[in-house]
């Protein structure tokens, strides 16, 4: 049968590129692996040339796959299942990239692209390490490309192709018709929660971080395979620093997206997918420090191997958690179940790399050199190693709790999550933060292999005093108000705050006291200071987060919504109900729901909420701004809410719609206008009160209307008196313009009343039309927080990233000009991305 309107050529080209890339990845793996095992120089060079050609062919084909998918989605070829599921006609062009990596296939492709880019760099820069290192990268490409292969082998489909046809994937009578495409008017489109610019930026950065962790892994493998057990640290360390920078930035970009798009009121909720990406970063940071120890003293080589291997292994484990559906509904980020064949391939990917790396490590463990002499307690390396172990144990705690659904699946257990999931993590992680903060403050003042005690005390005395003073001032003038978990946890927060401030002050002081302002050598101190500032921001913004939308006795009792992250019922008393155009008090603000407007996507509405802060004495307006939180009403009548935020240097005001009247959108209003003839001072009654005509104003010029004396307009000045003892104003208008006679109605939403200036009688009486609506009163329910000093989180991240780049540039021995150029570009890019929303 010939199907009308199908564009089959792009799919055929795309599938060809997938097959070409897959075959090329096999050939490059074979070539590099054989070269790494060949002693003959000429034969080795020949295999490397073959492997390079194969890898470059694979890179070309991968780029061809991406371009083809982009072409299909941008042209809305809904005959392809991937375009039908992820693209739509209403989708703004700026989100086209996001719709590509929304799906499993697109995100695997994004990962593959970054491996391709990194592989090309390694071919140029890794020199005699190329063969063993690239054999690992090529093997990873083999597995990633297998995920999007989409071919059948003995009746089982291997991988999920992004080029499958919709008619082959969905059962339905229309797909047996030659003109079935005429029935497909639009695609499903990008998930509304992902229609955020951070979803264009965050996934590429995060997947670059994921991809980059394979490089320390590959060098560690190469160190064992070539019997150059300690030499791999030199080329791997700069890559580890860059990887920590990129992966950490990508994770926090996800936090920024969650903060702007989700409604749990924050940027981190200990969601399983968040945890699964955090754990490899923590292990990478631990391994980074042990590599530095080895470079300086020859110690911790075995730990460096283990951490380098485990970092990428846990990246793969996070892939397993995210993509196999094992997390179920415990995460808002996870993909739905991928199917048995895909699950087996993902498990194979995890299993091959995990078993081969750990087996290789254990078999050669005794051959890996180690220093027999114990480290002194007054040495830098001793406390750096202690810090690495603490970070690693913290990571193991997080992944153990995150993996509860895996235990339940494997062993058939029914371990339930903690009642307070957030606190179950926080109560231990805050101890980790205290230890790491204190170690970050003092460790760098120690020397490698031993330090005189008196000199250290002299150097840290001033930073200690300053940190203690700042903490004391905060206790007095800006105390922590997080009393929910009792005095013990509150005390732990204060200790962690001191540790973070101490680390910040101490690292800043180290640059000037010890390094004498030499910024070229200050990368570690800058990174530690950035991390400390980030920690200060986390503690202050989380512990002193305040709900300002408390309704008290004035709130309307509405169904409480569930928090998408914690799964807890929302507290109705923390939500303020706003009737349209009726002001209400919210903390220091007077808040008014003004109007709504339709978004570009069907079912999406934006709600204009006006905030005003007035002087309590003079009543003058001190501050005025509007926020536009939005709601997406889905086909199943569920509601997805997106927050809006007012940003200040020292705080954010975070708002989202927790409830909205949706029935009013579809119901028909059967009420009609009743016309009253009135003179000035006359009264007319309606169901909920009465109104008085105060007078008629010719060509009014006020807050609402702006007419000139030469115009032809009449405004009725009306006061309404409700049964609730409230007074309201209305000002309907009658005007003559270029079109003719025009009536501008006025609406009093609090009374469900519409008023029309219907004309003037022959005896100069005013005709007022009054319509009492039988619809539900138009209102929304709003929740609002104040996040104090949240910008310290984003600023700390930027500073930490810059410090890591400085360290990587120094370790890679880049020229000073090149280093400055990289720092300026990287710092500007990160800073720009995080200020884009503000």
* pLDDT band (50, 70, 90) for residue 819: low
pLDDT, position 387: 96
Q: Enumerate helices (H) and strands (E) in the chain, giving the number of each.
A: 22, 23
End-to-end CA distance of the chain: 55
Domain boundary among 388, 417, 446: 417
User: Nearest 5 degrees, angle CA 370-CA 376-CA 377?
Assistant: 125
pLDDT, position 829: 57
Q: Which of 26-30, 126-130, 235-239, 515-519 has the lowest mean pLDDT?
A: 515-519
Q: Which of 40-49, 437-446, 628-637 has the lowest mean pLDDT?
A: 628-637
Q: Is residue 714 domain-shared with residue 740, that is, in the same domain?
A: yes
Burial (CB < 10 A; 0-12, 13-18, 19+), residue 587, is middle
Q: Is residue 235 domain-shared with residue 166, that is, in the same domain?
A: no
Instruction: For residue 297, give the nearest of 222, 236, 370 by alpha carbon.
Output: 370
Asked whether the CA dihedral 110, 114, 115, 116 is positive or negative, the reply is positive
Burial (CB < 10 A; 0-12, 13-18, 19+), residue 153, is exposed
Q: Is residue 181 domain-shared with residue 234, that is, in the same domain?
A: no
Q: What is the pLDDT of residues 352-411, one digit of tens each?
A: 999 999 999 999 999 998 877 777 888 999 999 999 999 999 999 999 999 988 888 888
Classify residue 761: in a domain, yes or no.
Answer: yes
Q: Is residue 604 domain-shared with residue 470, that is, in the same domain?
A: no
pLDDT, position 339: 65
Classify residue 566: in a domain, yes or no.
Answer: no
* pLDDT band (50, 70, 90) for residue 834: low
Cα gap 175→717, rounded to integer Å: 62
* One-character DSSP codes across 192-257: GGG-STHHHHHHHHHHHHHHHTHHHHHHHHHHHHTT-TTTTHHHHHHHHHHHHHHHHHHHHHHHHH
* One-character DSSP codes across 266-325: SS----HHHHHHHHHHHHHHHHHHHHHHHHHHS--HHHHHHHHHHHHHHHHHHHHHHHSS
Q: Is residue 516 domain-shared with residue 626, that is, in the same domain?
A: no
Classify residue 413: in a domain, yes or no.
Answer: yes
Percent of the chain at pLDDT > 70 equals 91
Classify residue 567: in a domain, yes or no.
Answer: no
Classify residue 115: in a domain, yes or no.
Answer: yes
Which residues are CB-neighbours of 349 under 8 A, at least 6 positions away?
A: 143, 144, 316, 319
Whether 806 shows a pLDDT value over 50: the answer reads yes
pLDDT, position 198: 84
Whether 742 shows a pLDDT value over 60: the answer reads yes
Q: Is residue 188 domain-shared with residue 316, that is, in the same domain?
A: no
Domain boundary among 366, 401, 417: 417
- For residue 599, the enclosing domain spans 576-664+780-786
Which residues are CB-neighbours of 800 under 8 A, at least 6 positions away?
A: 245, 248, 526, 527, 529, 530, 531, 533, 534
Task: Report residue 182 as tokens.
Answer: 């005429």
Cα gap 638→154, rounded to integer Å: 42
Question: What b/e string do you get for 342-362 counting C-beta neighbours within 10 Å, with b at 16 or more?
Answer: bbebbeebbeebbeebeebbe
pLDDT, position 452: 75
Span 446-467, mean pLDDT? 86
Span 593-601, mean pLDDT? 82
Q: What is the largest CA-CA distance in the chain?
A: 113
Percent of the chain at pLDDT > 90 equals 57
Span 761-767, mean pLDDT? 90
* pLDDT band (50, 70, 90) for residue 564: very low
Span 23-51, mean pLDDT? 95
Q: Is residue 161 domain-shared with residue 252, that is, in the same domain?
A: no
Domain count, the chain: 5
Whether 175 shows a pLDDT value over 80: the answer reads yes
Q: Is residue 46 domain-shared with residue 99, that is, in the same domain?
A: yes
Cα gap 489→477, rounded to integer Å: 20
Instruction: For residue 608, give the nearest of 574, 572, 578 by alpha carbon.
Output: 578
Whether 325 shows a pLDDT value over 60: the answer reads yes
Q: What is the pLDDT of residues 681-704, one digit of tens each?
A: 999 999 889 999 999 999 998 888
Q: Is residue 260 domain-shared with residue 407, that is, in the same domain?
A: yes
What is the overall mean pLDDT for the chain? 87
Instruction: For residue 625, give the nearest of 585, 650, 653 by alpha carbon.
Output: 653
Q: Is residue 144 domain-shared with residue 22, that is, in the same domain?
A: yes
Q: What is the pLDDT of residues 416-444, one digit of tens each?
A: 888 888 999 999 999 999 999 999 999 99
Task: Report residue 538 as tokens.
Answer: 């986390």
Q: Is residue 356 domain-shared with residue 466, that is, in the same domain?
A: no
564 φ, ψ (degrees, to nearest 5): -65, -20
Q: Is residue 183 domain-shared with residue 245, that is, in the same domain?
A: no
Taking the CA atoms of residue 450, residue 454, residue 456 and residue 460 in that order, the dihedral angle to the nearest 10 degrees is 170
Span 462-489, mean pLDDT? 94
Q: Which of 128-132, 191-195, 484-488 has the lowest mean pLDDT?
A: 191-195
Classify residue 651: in a domain, yes or no.
Answer: yes
Domain boundary among 195, 220, 243: 195
Return the axis-axis angle of helices 104-125 and 198-212, rounded to nearest 10°.
50
Cα gap 593→611, rounded to integer Å: 9
Whether 573 shows a pLDDT value over 80: the answer reads no
Q: What is the pLDDT of residues 329-359, one digit of tens each?
A: 555 555 555 567 788 899 999 999 999 999 9
Task: Report residue 488 as tokens.
Answer: 């013990």
Give yes or no for a contact between 705 and 676, defined as CB atoms under 8 angstroms apart: no
Task: Report residue 329 as tokens.
Answer: 């509904």
Give yes or no for a contact between 248 and 797, defined as CB atoms under 8 angstroms apart: yes
């Amino acid at each position: 049968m010939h199907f009308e309107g199908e564009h089959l050529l792009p799919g055929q080209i795309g599938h060809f590129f997938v097959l070409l890339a897959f075959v090329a990845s096999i050939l490059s793996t074979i070539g590099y692996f054989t070269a790494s095992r060949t002693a003959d120089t000429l034969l080795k060079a020949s295999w490397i040339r073959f492997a390079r050609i194969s890898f470059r062919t694979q890179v070309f084909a991968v780029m061809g796959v991406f371009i083809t998918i982009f072409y299909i989605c941008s042209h809305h070829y809904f005959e392809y299942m991937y375009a039908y599921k992820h693209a739509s006609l209403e989708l703004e062009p700026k989100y086209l990239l996001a719709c590509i990596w929304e799906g499993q296939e697109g995100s695997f492709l994004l990962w593959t692209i970054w491996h391709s880019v990194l592989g090309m760099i390694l071919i140029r820069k890794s020199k005699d390490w190329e063969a063993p290192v690239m054999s690992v990268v090529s093997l990873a490409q083999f597995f990633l490309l297998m995920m999007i292969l989409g071919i059948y082998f003995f009746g089982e489909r291997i991988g999920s192709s992004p080029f499958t046809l919709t008619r082959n994937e969905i059962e339905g009578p229309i797909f047996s018709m030659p003109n079935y495409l005429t029935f497909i008017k639009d695609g499903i489109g990008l998930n509304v929660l992902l229609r955020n610019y951070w979803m264009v930026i965050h996934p590429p950065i995060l997947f670059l971080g994921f991809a980059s962790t394979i490089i320390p892994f590959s060098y560690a493998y190469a160190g064992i395979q070539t019997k150059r057990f300690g030499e791999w640290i030199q080329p791997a360390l700069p890559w580890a620093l860059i990887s920590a920078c990129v992966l950490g930035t990508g994770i926090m970009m996800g936090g920024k997206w969650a903060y702007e798009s989700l409604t749990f009121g924050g940027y981190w909720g200990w969601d399983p997918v968040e945890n699964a990406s955090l754990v490899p970063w923590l292990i990478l940071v631990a391994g980074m420090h042990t590599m530095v120890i080895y470079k300086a003293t020859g110690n911790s080589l075995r730990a460096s191997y283990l951490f380098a291997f485990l970092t990428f292994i846990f990246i793969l484990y996070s892939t397993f958690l995210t993509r196999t559906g094992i997390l179920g509904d415990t995460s808002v980020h996870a993909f739905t179940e991928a199917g048995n064949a895909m699950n087996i391939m993902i498990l194979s990917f995890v299993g091959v790399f995990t078993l081969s790396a750990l087996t290789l490590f254990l078999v050669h463990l005794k051959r890996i050199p180690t220093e027999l002499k114990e480290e002194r307690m007054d040495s830098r390396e001793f406390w750096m190693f202690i810090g690495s172990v603490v970070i690693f144990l913290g990571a193991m705690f997080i992944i153990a709790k995150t993996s509860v659904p895996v235990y339940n699946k494997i062993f058939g257990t029914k371990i339930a999550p903690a009642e307070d999931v957030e606190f179950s993590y926080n109560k231990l992680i805050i101890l980790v933060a205290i230890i790491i903060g204190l170690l970050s403050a003092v460790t760098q003042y120690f020397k490698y292999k031993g330090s005189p005690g008196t000199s250290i005390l002299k150097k840290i005395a001033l930073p200690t005093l300053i940190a203690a003073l700042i903490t004391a001032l905060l206790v007095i003038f800006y105390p922590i108000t997080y009393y929910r978990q009792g005095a013990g946890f509150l005390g732990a927060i204060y200790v962690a705050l001191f540790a973070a401030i101490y680390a910040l002050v101490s690292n800043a002081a180290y640059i000037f006291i010890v390094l004498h302002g030499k910024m070229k050598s200050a990368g570690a101190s800058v990174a530690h200071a950035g991390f400390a500032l980030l920690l200060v921001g986390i503690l202050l913004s989380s512990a002193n987060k305040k709900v300002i939308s408390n309704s008290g006795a004035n709130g309307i009792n509405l169904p409480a919504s569930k928090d998408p992250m914690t799964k807890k019922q929302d507290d109705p008393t923390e939500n303020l109900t706003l009737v349209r155009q009726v002001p209400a008090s919210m903390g220091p603000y007077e808040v008014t729901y003004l109007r709504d407007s339709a978004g570009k996507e069907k079912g999406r509405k934006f709600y204009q909420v006006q905030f005003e802060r007035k002087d309590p004495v003079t009543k003058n307006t001190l501050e005025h701004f509007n926020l536009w939180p939005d709601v997406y009403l889905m086909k199943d009548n569920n509601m997805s809410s997106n927050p809006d935020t007012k940003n200040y240097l020292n705080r954010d005001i975070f708002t989202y719609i927790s409830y909205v009247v949706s029935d009013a959108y579809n119901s028909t209003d059967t009420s009609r206008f009743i016309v009253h003839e009135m003179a000035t001072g006359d009264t007319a009654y309606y169901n909920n009160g009465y109104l008085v005509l105060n007078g008629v104003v010719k060509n009014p010029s006020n807050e609402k209307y702006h007419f000139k004396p030469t115009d032809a307009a009449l405004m009725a000045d009306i006061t309404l008196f409700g049964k609730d003892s409230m007074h309201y104003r209305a000002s309907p208008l009658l005007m003559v313009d270029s079109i003719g006679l025009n009536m501008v109605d006025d609406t009093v939403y609090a009374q469900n009343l519409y008023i029309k200036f219907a004309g003037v009688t022959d005896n100069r009486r005013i005709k007022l039309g009054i319509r009492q609506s039988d619809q539900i009163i138009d209102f929304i329910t709003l929740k609002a927080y104040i996040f104090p000093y949240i910008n310290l989180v984003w600023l700390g991240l930027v500073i930490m990233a810059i410090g890591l780049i400085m360290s990587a540039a120094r370790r890679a021995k880049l020229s000073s000009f090149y280093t400055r150029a990289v720092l300026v570009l990287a710092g500007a890019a990160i800073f720009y991305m995080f200020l884009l929303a503000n």
